Amino acid sequence: MYNQKQDCPPPDAFAQERPIESLPSTDPLPFELRVAVFKVVDIQSPEGISEPSVKASGKMTLDDGKDLYEETDTHFGCDDGTATLNWRLIFKNVMIPCKQPRLTVQIWNDNMLASDEVLAEVTLDFSKDFLLARKNNTAVDFPKGSLFMYHPAFPGEVRGVIDLEAILLPADEVRERPQGAGRDEPNDDPFLDPNDPHLVAHRSRIANMKIIKNAKALAGGLLAGAQLLLMLKLLAMGASGLFAAIMSIIMVTRQ
């Protein structure tokens, strides 16, 4: 039993003297996740393809069911098992806390004549990092590192190794520390070299490849027979003959 003769106040009086503390809000706040994809090495090519054209993508599903999806450009003709991408993926309005704080990163064979094919993937679990960022409303850095990538058809077999660096930023710091998507300016956090020799060496075919893929879309489906021959012809042609070859593809498809 409490002794009133003691010098300290009774418990109810002591409780009333303590200031009321506001508990932190648990409402989700917007953050921005920036993922720098440097390169992928030790890429295991699909059967029958000696030089895949590789791009990377990232996908995150928010609590409201919305998918955030970004992808890099394509490194054409990976004849040495390495794709240099140097590309910044930016995922805006990532609401934290969230139930599934995971980002799935995949590499694809950018197939000109058919659907793109997943070569390997890795899933990043940001549970602790997201909670830390939300608790302190501060940026969280993920230092550059290499991650093994796998494919469900090849259990336990490493199908590629990807070099990544990332940062999670609260909304106020996003405005203070702007960065461009891809290789756009500003480009210094981290710097993603657009003139990397290995990247440049596999860039020469990009323009023609994009035109071919657009022609394929305009043609309205997969190419076969005479259409395929025309497409292969287009690959070997210079810029002066691209327009005529594209029109030929479209005309054959419509027949």
240: β partners: none
Write the single-letter amino acid at 31.
F
Query: Please, what are the domains in the chain?
Result: 29-201 (2.60.40.150), 206-254 (no CATH)
Residue 212, Cβ density class (10 Å: 0-12 exposed, 13-18 middle, ≥19 buried): buried
Q: What is the pLDDT along the chain (255 residues), one digit of tens a residue?
A: 434 455 555 555 544 565 554 445 578 999 999 999 999 999 998 888 889 999 999 999 999 999 999 999 999 999 999 999 999 999 999 999 999 899 999 999 998 777 899 999 999 999 999 999 999 999 999 999 999 999 999 999 999 999 999 999 999 999 999 999 999 999 999 999 999 999 998 875 554 555 555 555 555 554 444 454 445 444 444 444 444 444 444 444 444
Nearest alpha carbon to residue 40 among 3, 84, 9: 84
Q: What pTM was estimated for this model as a whole?
A: 0.74
| Amino acid found at 188 | D
Question: Cα–Cα distance between 58 and 56 in angstroms, integer?
Answer: 7
User: Cis peptide before 170, with omega less than 30 degrees from 0?
Assistant: no
**Residue 163 region by backbone torsions, left for phi larger than 0, else alpha for psi between -120 and 50, else beta:** beta
Asked if 40 contacts 160 with a C-beta cutoff of 8 angstroms, the reply is yes
Q: Are 83 and 146 in contact (CB under 8 A)?
A: no
DSSP string covering 130-157, please? HHHHHHHT--EEEEEEEEEEB-TTSTT-
At 202 the pLDDT is: 86
DSSP secondary structure string, 1-13?
Answer: ---TTSSSPPHHH
Q: What was the pLDDT predicted at 112? A: 72
The answer to whether the CB of 192 falls within 8 A of the CB of 179 is: no
Cβ–Cβ under 8 Å, residues 186 and 175: no
Per the listing, tokens 């969280």 go with 140
Question: What integer pLDDT is reported at residue 22 of this predicted model?
Answer: 43
pLDDT at 150: 97
Quote the pLDDT of residue 236.
47
In three-state form (DSSP H/G/I as H, E/B as E, the rest C), the secondary structure along 76-93 is CCCCCCCEEEEEEEEEEE
